């Protein structure tokens, strides 16, 4: 049987709690249509009063608004209940009002006689006063507080979300705590928004109460005088008392519910309920109580004043102040255990916990860019950064560290900066809601906007409004949004700094990944033949020259073959480059069979060989020769960039490391290849000679 029930969908399984809300709504709607006897009306009116008291007490003992998330729905249901009771009672008042004051039940009769003494004039005044208090003061104030609270909560959401992300990235909280805090932030905004809307129901209920009372009085006079032949005085007496009693029965619970709403939205977050806050803060200072007692005592001594009331209250406040003062002195004189050393910041000893780890990768944004990283406001920068890390891992060959994002009030509102190990490596401006129109060099005219340069590639660009986007694309501009600008800039920088991102932890994770499929390959190399530090240096050498390490198996195979006799990371890097020659050439030229390259003049090549033979790895180039080499290389690379050809310098193997280390500092886009790295199937064509004529 249990197995059979387990197969039944959850929505089909019987649960009494699931039927409560639908039944309540059906009953409320039925009360507006079906006639109710006076006894049932008494029961529902009593239930309405009890429910309003329960709601008020619950709000008083609620520590924070989110502890009573159901309040907006409760507010709606209680409003509908009062309106349904008004409709049901109106039906009885108009049909049975001529029979006497108990025609609509004992509750309405009690409110008509006991609370207002059977005087309909007094009843009208009391009813109007209660309605004004409810409509003008309590409900309007609670609605305004809810509206402002919703606005400030929504404005603070991005900062709260970023604080949660920062704590998560810093390791201060776990994923479960982060989810819970994000859920609380979202619930807080939804709660105040719902309260702002639900308060409109209460205001409408107050207006409906006035209209229903007026209709009952006018309708009762018409029905009583025309249908039941009552005199004007009898009709006014009976129907007015019934109408006022009915109105008071509805307005008093409405006032209680409105008060509860005001308490919920007006309380400040604390670990105490409203009663604890009032007692702990209002009567906490003896000086205040002494002054109040003195003022009341002085007023009680004035001739004509109610001496007993003022003097009694003054004595009560004075006694409370004396008791509070005595408790304070006893607490001060009581022996206090010395606080632990770690709780006193002045005497606290420094510990290793005081050392805050530096984020490997960081993105700091000004406050106007916070919406870019806030999903609630349509920001997709976090999603783009996740995509960048995934693309980087697929193309470069290892997973980069997470990007820690935080807001920085020291930055200008539209400025962002990218840091590597807490050192700034990039900074630019972005404008939320605008687009960057990048000039690729073939546009048909200028644009109106903020002139700037593309932060990733340095192309001229203009920040434009969204309305100009289509026009800019028609003019030949490349148009991207602010998130794409920041993401592209970040991607460009981490690709350039790939060798700095490959730490010991990333190398170990990479080895563990390879070992999962090829354990012997890793076991034979690390640490038997090569240390993790040496392997890290080889991989960093490759990445510093833009060589991807996706083919990690080939790299490890090559190192396993040569590490027994070669331990120098530079030599090992050269051997690995030869093994990866096909991938390196394809990375630069694609699938082209003919490779246009630059080459060294014979005389220059001979001079450089002599320098290498004399200095080894520490070889240096004579200053005059170095200047000439840099000048010719830079000029040639500029020509190749203009023509759209890759800038590649082909040199002998023994010169490759020296020239790559020297020239790439001044000409970053230059690729230096050795003859041994070019596959035999490729055809080399020398287009320019460095140090001579082509």
Residue 680 φ/ψ, nearest 5 degrees: -65, -25
Lookup result for tokens 């809601």: 433
Mean residue pLDDT of the chain comes to: 80
Q: Encoding tokens for residue 389?
A: 């890390």
| Cα 397 to Cα 400: distance, rounded to the nearest angstrom | 9
pLDDT in tens, 368-425: 999 998 887 778 888 889 889 999 999 999 999 999 999 888 899 999 999 999 999 9
Query: Would you state the pLDDT for residue 1?
Result: 47
Query: Would you state the pLDDT for residue 270?
Result: 52
Region 342-368: what's the mean pLDDT?
A: 77
Query: Would you state the pLDDT for residue 11?
Result: 46
CB-CB contact of 647 with 670 (8 Å): yes
Whether cis (ω within 30° of 0) applies to the bond prior to 639 is: no
CB-CB contact of 580 with 427 (8 Å): no
Residue 240: which of 107, 125, 406 has the closest Cα? Answer: 125
Query: Would you state the pLDDT for residue 694?
Result: 39
CB-CB contact of 239 with 97 (8 Å): yes
Handedness of CA 281, 285, 286, 287 (dihedral sign): negative
Q: Tally the C-alpha atoms within 13 A of residue 282's C-alpha that lie toward its C-beta.
A: 7
| Cα 137 to Cα 199: distance, rounded to the nearest angstrom | 12
CATH of 361-499, one of 3.40.30.60, 3.40.50.970, 3.40.50.300, 2.70.98.90: 3.40.30.60
Domain locations along the chain: 2-277, 285-331, 361-499, 512-579, 591-694
Q: Domain 591-694 is classified in which CATH homologous superfamily?
A: FHIPEP family, domain 4 (3.40.50.12790)
| Cα 73 to Cα 337: distance, rounded to the nearest angstrom | 50
Using CB atoms within 10 A of its CB, is residue 402 exposed (0-12), middle (13-18) or buried (19+)? middle
pLDDT in tens, 56-77: 888 777 777 677 777 777 877 8
CATH class of the domain at 512-579: mainly alpha
pLDDT of 202 higher than 70? no
Confidence of residue 226 (pLDDT cuts 50, 70, 90): confident
pLDDT in tens, 8-30: 455 455 556 666 667 777 777 77
């Amino acid at each position: 049987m249990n197995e059979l029930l387990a197969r039944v969908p959850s929505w089909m399984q019987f649960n009494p709690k699931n039927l409560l809300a639908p039944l309540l709504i059906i009953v409320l709607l039925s009360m507006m249509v079906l006639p109710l006897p006076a006894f049932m009306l008494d029961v529902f009116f009593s239930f309405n009063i009890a429910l309003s008291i329960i709601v008020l007490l619950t709000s008083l003992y609620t520590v924070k608004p989110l502890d009573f998330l159901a309040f907006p729905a409760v507010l709606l249901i209680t409003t509908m209940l009062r309106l349904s009771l008004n409709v049901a009672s109106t039906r009885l008042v108009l049909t049975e009002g001529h029979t006497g004051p108990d025609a609509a039940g004992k509750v309405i009769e009690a409110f008509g006689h006991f609370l207002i003494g059977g005087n309909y004039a007094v009843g009208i005044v009391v009813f109007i006063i209660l309605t004004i208090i409810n409509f003008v003061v309590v409900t309007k104030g609670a609605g305004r507080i809810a509206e402002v609270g919703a606005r400030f909560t929504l404005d603070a959401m991005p900062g709260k979300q970023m604080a949660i992300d920062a704590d998560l990235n810093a390791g201060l909280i776990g994923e479960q705590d982060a989810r819970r805090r994000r859920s609380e932030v979202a619930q807080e905004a939804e709660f105040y928004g719902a309260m702002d809307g639900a308060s409109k129901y209460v205001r409408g209920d107050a207006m409906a109460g006035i209209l229903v009372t007026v209709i009952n009085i006018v309708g009762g006079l018409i029905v009583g005088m025309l249908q039941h032949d009552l005199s004007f005085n009898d009709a006014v007496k009976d129907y007015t008392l019934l109408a006022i009693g009915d109105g008071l029965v509805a307005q008093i619970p409405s006032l209680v519910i409105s008060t509860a709403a005001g308490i919920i939205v007006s309380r400040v977050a604390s670990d105490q309920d409203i009663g604890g806050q009032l007692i702990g803060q209002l009567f906490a200072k003896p000086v205040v109580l002494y002054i109040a007692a003195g003022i009341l005592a002085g007023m009680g001594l004035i001739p004509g004043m109610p001496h007993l009331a003022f003097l009694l209250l003054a004595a009560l406040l004075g006694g409370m102040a004396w008791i509070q003062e005595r408790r304070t002195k006893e607490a001060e004189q009581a022996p206090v255990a010395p606080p632990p050393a770690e709780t006193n910041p002045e005497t606290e000893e420094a510990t290793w916990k005081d050392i805050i780890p530096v984020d490997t990768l960081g993105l700091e944004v000004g406050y106007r860019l916070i919406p870019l990283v806030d999903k609630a406001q349509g920001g997709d920068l976090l999603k783009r950064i996740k995509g960048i890390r995934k693309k980087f891992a697929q193309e470069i060959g290892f997973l980069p560290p997470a990007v820690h994002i935080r807001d920085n009030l020291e930055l200008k509102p539209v400025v962002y900066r990218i840091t590597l190990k807490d050192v700034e490596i990039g900074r630019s401006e972005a404008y939320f809601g605008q687009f960057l129109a990048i000039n690729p060099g073939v546009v048909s005219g200028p644009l109106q906007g903020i002139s700037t340069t593309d932060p990733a590639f340095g192309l001229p660009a203009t920040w434009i409004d969204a309305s100009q986007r289509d026009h800019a694309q028609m003019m030949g501009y490349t148009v991207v949004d602010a998130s794409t600008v920041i993401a592209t800039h970040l991607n460009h920088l981490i690709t350039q700094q790939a060798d700095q991102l490959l730490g010991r932890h990333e190398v170990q994770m990479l080895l563990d990944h390879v070992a999962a499929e090829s354990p012997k390959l890793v076991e034979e190399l690390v640490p038997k033949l090569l240390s993790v530090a040496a392997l890290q240096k080889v991989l960093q050498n490759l990445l510093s020259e833009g060589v991807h390490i996706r083919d990690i198996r080939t790299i490890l195979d090559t190192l396993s073959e040569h590490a027994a006799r070669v331990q120098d990371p530079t030599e090992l890097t050269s051997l690995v480059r030869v093994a990866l020659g096909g991938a390196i050439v394809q990375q630069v030229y694609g699938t082209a069979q003919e490779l246009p390259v630059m080459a060294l003049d014979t005389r220059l090549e001979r001079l450089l060989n002599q320098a290498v033979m004399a200095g080894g790895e520490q070889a240096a180039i004579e200053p005059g020769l170095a200047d000439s080499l840099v000048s010719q290389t830079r000029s040639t690379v500029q020509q190749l960039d203009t023509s759209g050809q890759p800038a590649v310098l082909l040199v002998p193997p023994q010169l490759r490391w020296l020239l790559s280390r020297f020239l790439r500092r001044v000409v970053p886009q230059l690729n230096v290849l050795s003859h041994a790295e070019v596959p035999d199937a490729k055809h080399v064509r020398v287009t320019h000679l460095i140090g001579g004529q082509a």
